[in-house]
């Protein structure tokens, strides 16, 4: 019954209901969900940095200015939260992973990416998901800088996964040969997190 109503709403809004994963409902809003409190920084981001480490030829620590000197992209894509809401045609702008990989010299032994964020939060994905169209280090959403609640100044965007994999308040990416479960995965969430397979929980 839920599936039928959700698909009907998507169709009435002019969307192909096939874009809606099982168990999801469509919303035009962008609900705010996270563990812990909202991270705060000085307005000029003094002292803020972003690190890339692990299976790379040249580990780097970038200031906000240095990060924003890298190439940028704009992408429109759907996002799906494990709490069952989906938002179609979300607009993101930021630095594509390809620009970062070229800068650091990503090694062939880099099979997984571990995102490190504030307050000890982490999320994990196979590197191939960072190499997909739409994956980026996002600085803007819907034409404006990210709000604090949505991860300002930087969040990861990982298409093809439930949105908890797109870590807010991102401070680093560690490339590893072996997978390392992230924050929510250690609490029982599914490691793969494919919305269309309803991979919400690992039990």
pLDDT in tens, 112-144: 999 999 999 999 999 999 999 999 999 999 999
Residue 96 φ then ψ, to 5°: -70, 150
pTM confidence score: 0.93
For residues 174, 178, 184 and 188, what is the CA-based torsion angle, rounded to 10 degrees? 180
- Distance in angstroms (rounded) separating the CA atoms of residues 186 and 167: 15
Residue 55: exposed, middle, or buried by beta-carbon count in 10 A (0-12, 13-18, 19+)?
Answer: buried
Domain positions in the chain are 2-197
What are 60's strand-pairing partners?
52
- Distance in angstroms (rounded) separating the CA atoms of residues 93 and 73: 6
Show pLDDT as tens, one digit a residue, over the chain (203 residues).
Answer: 456 888 888 898 888 999 999 999 999 999 887 777 899 999 999 999 999 999 999 999 999 999 999 999 999 999 999 999 999 999 999 999 999 999 999 999 999 999 999 999 999 999 999 999 999 999 999 999 999 999 999 999 999 999 999 999 999 999 999 999 999 999 999 999 999 999 999 87
In CATH, which of 1.10.10.10, 3.90.420.10, 3.10.50.40, 3.40.50.2300 is domain 2-197?
Answer: 3.90.420.10
CA distances from 41 to 63, 103, 118, 130, 151 (A): 13, 26, 11, 26, 11
Phi-psi region of 116 (alpha: psi -120 to 50; beta: other; left: phi over 0): beta
């Amino acid at each position: 019954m839920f599936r039928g109503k959700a698909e009907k709403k998507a169709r009435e809004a002019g969307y192909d209901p096939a874009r809606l994963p099982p168990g999801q409902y469509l919303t035009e809003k962008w609900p705010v969900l996270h563990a812990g409190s909202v991270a705060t920084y000085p307005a000029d981001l003094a002292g803020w940095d972003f690190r890339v480490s692990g299976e790379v030829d040249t580990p780097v620590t970038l200031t906000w200015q240095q990060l924003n000197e890298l190439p940028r992209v704009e992408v429109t894509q759907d996002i799906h939260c494990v709490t069952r809401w989906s938002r179609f045609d979300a607009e993101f702008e930021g630095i594509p992973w390809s620009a970062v990989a070229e800068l650091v010299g990503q090694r062939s032994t880099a099979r997984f990416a571990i995102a490190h964020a504030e307050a000890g939060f982490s999320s994990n994905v196979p590197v191939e998901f960072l190499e997909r169209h739409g994956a980026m280090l996002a600085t803007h959403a819907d034409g404006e800088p990210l709000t604090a609640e949505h991860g300002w100044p930087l969040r990861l965007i990982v298409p093809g996964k439930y949105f908890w994999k797109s870590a807010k308040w991102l401070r680093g990416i560690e490339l590893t040969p072996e997978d390392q479960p992230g924050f929510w995965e250690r609490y029982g969430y599914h490691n793969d997190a494919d919305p269309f397979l309803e991979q919400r929980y690992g039990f």
